[in-house]
Amino acid sequence: MKQAILTAPKTIEFSDVPKPAVKSNEVLLKVRYMGICGSDIHAYYGKHPFMSFPIRLGHEMSGEIVEIGSEVTEDLRLKDLVTIMPQEYCGKCEPCRSGRYNICNTLNVIGCQTPGAACEYFSVRADLVKKIPANIPAALAAAVEPAAVGVHAVRRCGSVKGMNVAVIGAGAIGNVTAQAALAEGAKSVLITDLSDHRLALAQRCGIPHTANTSRCSLSDAIHEAFGSGGADIFYECVGIGATVDQAIECSKKGHDIVIVGVFGSKPPVNLAWIQDRELRICGTLMYVERDVQDTINYMSEGKIHMEPLISNVFSFREFPDAFTYIEHNSDTSLKVMIKM
Ligand SMILES: [Zn+2]
Ligand SMILES: [Zn+2]
């Protein structure tokens, strides 16, 4: 089978290797689609702090089961369309024992620290596989993973039911966070960005309020969307100090700010207001199994829409071209897929 290895910055090498043998607790998948995400792009340029060369990318994927290991107990059949939860966790450390295996002390992410799905056939532990219902096509099944990031993020400070939610940043993760908030019963959602294209996509996904903060202040946008009651919670989905500060300055006293964005450097932010206004800042990383299952249900029920986010599809042979495309279309390429 063909596989693609990222061997050095901006260098993807294709090679022929034997189809993987399936261990007793594994299934073999014929890979159908693979999504490219922000962390893959950082890795491609050699700028990911926790990834090193050589690496076979691919943590967002869908595939069809073509072989099932002899001791697999999960309810899985040949030809099932599935996606994977790419977290190899220990199950023994303190976070794992409390059910928070997404922050396992020795977490390895498939496609980041262990070989991913950038290959024709992929073997994976059966307990990391999730079945996809028939009304979700294979391309969108590969987008369950990023959508689940939004669902987990929205749950980090308790229920958003009945809340006015503000999401800063309308890239793929901001978009799915906003959609997840609506799916989880938020009263209303505002999403902001500097790109009209991204905001138009958010509108297509059903986000009721959008604002371009290159043309208005965040506080004006909040007032416009929610009136004098303001926003009840903020999700920072950019990963820079300036937008964290915007959230701090616009937050009501005693409310929460969830940090979803990934930071390239340590930002100086207004901690004095965090202290004085009893604001609470909370982090979020990936998801756990119930977030993924609920994401699949939301997508199946039409409550989370991933199709508008897919900006382009490349063949496996064109995998390197996909990164060039993203480089030249950073504003408009939310989710690029590889069709295997
Ligand atoms: Zn990802
Ligand atoms: Zn652990």
Spell out the residues 6+ positions from residue 134 whose beta carbon is closer than 8 angstroms to its own.
none
pTM: 0.97
Instruction: List alpha helices for 98-195, DSSP H.
Output: 138-141, 144-154, 172-183
Closest ligand (CA of 87): 2
**Ligand 2 center–CA 97 separation, angstroms:** 7
**Ligand 1 center–CA 117 separation, angstroms:** 12
250: amino acid identity, one letter: C
Pairing of strands 233-236, 129-131: unpaired
- Angle (CA) 294-295-299 rounded to 5° is 115
Closest ligand (CA of 111): 1
Closest ligand (CA of 142): 1
**Ligand 2 center–CA 168 separation, angstroms:** 31
**Ligand 1 center–CA 183 separation, angstroms:** 21
Q: Where are the domains of the chain?
A: 2-143+306-339, 156-283
**Ligand 1 center–CA 102 separation, angstroms:** 14
Closest ligand (CA of 89): 2
How far apart are alpha carbons 333 and 31 in whole angstroms?
A: 22
**Ligand 1 center–CA 33 separation, angstroms:** 13
Q: pLDDT under 50 in the chain at which residues?
A: none
**Ligand 2 center–CA 46 separation, angstroms:** 27
Distances (CA, A) of 74 to 8, 38, 69: 38, 31, 11
Q: What is the DSSP string of 214-257?
A: TTS-HHHHHHHHHGGG--SEEEE-S-SHHHHHHHHHHPPTT-EE
What sign has the CA pseudo-torsion 323, 326, 328, 330?
A: negative
Q: Name the CATH superfamily housing domain 2-143+306-339.
A: Medium-chain alcohol dehydrogenases, catalytic domain (3.90.180.10)
Model confidence pLDDT, tens digit, residues 142-168: 999 999 999 999 999 999 999 999 999
**Fold category of 156-283 in CATH:** Rossmann fold (3.40.50)
156-283: same fold as 2-143+306-339? no
Instruction: List alpha helices for the chain, DSSP H.
Output: 38-44, 94-97, 138-141, 144-154, 172-183, 196-204, 218-226, 241-250, 271-276, 289-300, 319-328
Closest ligand (CA of 287): 1
pLDDT of amino acid 50: 85
